[in-house]
Amino acid sequence: MVNMDMAHASDRGARALNVTIDDGPDPVWTPRVLKVLRDNGVKAVFCMIGTSAAQHPELVRQVVAEGHRLCDHSVHHDTAMDHKATAYQHAEIVDAQRMIEQASGGVKPMYYRVPGGAFTPYSRQIAASLGMRPLGWNIDTDDYKLPGVQAIINTVERELPNGSTVLFHDGGGDRSQTVAALTDLLPRLKAQGYAFGFPLR
């Protein structure tokens, strides 16, 4: 069983960031996010919804082929999961892991992130028992609210002292602001001496 404590720190040390991408894969936005990451030599963790992974296995395999890591983000992205029965939580985690692994061609998710961050001790324990480290975040870009590209950039730069793991989205709607913000942020952060890694397992 892996560590059931929440992962935040980066395997590249204190002056490093973990880019995490939630709610995909999406046929429009995931390829665009992948291109920005590829152009900047940055690897990320893609927190995938089970149903979306099952619908777009070619995207899951592309994510893996380009050196990124997979994260189980539940079957249905139910943000009220923490108020549901343990059997429901269990099924959402286990079934999504199976769906993502099947879509990827056999690569297991290394992390689990509950929708909305509503972890319970039980959900962390289930994830860890399945070999997935529970994954939190330190910087929430709020990109899903479509606040504007500059607002996303400002949030990241303001909250950098808070910790390593940054939350972006490639699913759930129009993610053009996210793509534009990443296009600006990644080279700028690299120029400032930041490395990019993966959350510690």
Is the confidence at residue 195, as pLDDT, over 80?
yes
Mean pLDDT of 80-108: 97
- CB neighbour list of residue 128: distance below 8 Å, 6 or more residues apart: 1, 2, 3, 4, 134
Give pLDDT tens digits for 3-56.
899 999 999 998 999 999 999 999 999 999 999 999 999 999 999 999 999 999
5 is catalytic: no
Give the per-residue pLDDT at 2.
86
Q: Which of 2 and 70 is assigned the larger pLDDT?
A: 70
22 is catalytic: yes
Give the per-residue pLDDT at 1.
72
Mean pLDDT of 167-194: 97
Q: Select from 135, 140, 138, 156 the least CA-distant residue to 200.
A: 135
Q: Which domains does the chain have, with CATH numbers?
A: 16-194 (3.20.20.370)
Is the confidence at residue 186, as pLDDT, over 90?
yes
Is the confidence at residue 153, as pLDDT, over 90?
yes
pLDDT range class, residue 116, cuts 50, 70, 90: very high
Give the per-residue pLDDT at 162.
93
Mean pLDDT of 100-128: 96
Give residue 46's Cα distance to chain centre.
4
Catalytic residue among 22, 26, 72, 170: 22
Give the Cα separation of 201 and 193 in Å (integer): 24
pLDDT range class, residue 61, cuts 50, 70, 90: very high
Give the Cα separation of 144 and 22 in Å (integer): 10
Catalytic residue among 68, 73, 77, 169: 169
Give the per-residue pLDDT at 136.
96
